[in-house]
C-alpha cells in the first residue's frame, strides 16, 4: 500500500483521510501545534484508526514543505472565518450574547441590592 492510498485528495486545499470526513489538517494540528501523541489523536478522532493517524504524520514528514503550505493556508482561512463571524455573527450567536448581557445585568443588580442591605 502506498501512503497516498490513505487519503482522498478532493482539492488542492482539501485532503481527507479515506473513509472519513476528517482532513489531514485536523490531525496534523493536534500533532504539530498541540504536541499530542498519535494515540491521543486516534482517541480524539474516533472515526479514524491509529494506523491512519500514523499515515497522516508520515505523509507530513515526507512532504513537509507542501503540507506546511497547506496548513498555513488552512490556518489563514480559519483566521478569516473567525473575523467574518465577529463582523457578522449568526442570529443564534446574537441571541446568546443578548442572553448573557441580560444575565450579567441581573447578576449586577442582585449584587447591588445585597450591598445596600
pLDDT in tens, 89-114: 888 888 988 999 899 988 888 877 77
Report the CATH number that the domain containing residue 37 is assigned in CATH: 1.10.10
CA distances from 15 to 9, 26, 51, 56, 104 (A): 5, 10, 17, 10, 43
User: If you search the block for the grid coordinates 449584587, which residue do you land on?
Assistant: 111
- Find the domain containing 53 and state its range: 3-88
Domain assignment present for 104: no
How many domains are contained in the chain? 1
Closest CA to 12 of 76, 73, 93: 73
The whole-number pLDDT of residue 29 equals: 96
Q: What is the pLDDT at residue 107?
A: 87
Cα(9)–Cα(70) distance, integer angstroms:
12
Q: Which residues of the chain have pLDDT under 50?
A: none
- 106 inside domain: no
The pTM of this model reads: 0.73
d(CA 18, CA 9): 9
Query: Does residue 95 belong to any structural domain of this protein?
Result: no
Give the model's pLDDT for residue 117.
64
Amino acid at each position: 500500500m502506498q501512503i497516498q492510498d490513505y487519503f482522498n485528495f478532493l482539492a488542492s486545499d482539501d485532503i481527507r483521510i479515506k473513509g472519513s470526513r476528517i482532513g489531514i489538517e485536523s490531525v496534523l494540528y493536534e500533532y504539530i501545534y498541540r504536541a499530542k501523541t498519535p494515540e491521543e489523536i486516534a482517541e480524539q478522532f474516533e472515526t479514524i484508526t491509529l494506523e491512519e493517524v500514523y499515515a497522516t504524520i508520515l505523509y507530513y514528514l515526507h512532504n513537509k514543505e507542501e503540507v506546511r503550505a497547506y496548513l498555513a493556508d488552512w490556518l489563514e482561512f480559519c483566521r478569516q472565518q473567525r473575523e467574518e463571524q465577529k463582523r457578522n455573527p449568526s442570529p443564534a450567536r446574537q441571541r446568546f450574547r443578548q442572553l448573557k448581557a441580560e444575565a450579567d445585568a441581573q447578576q449586577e443588580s442582585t449584587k447591588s441590592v445585597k450591598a445596600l442591605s
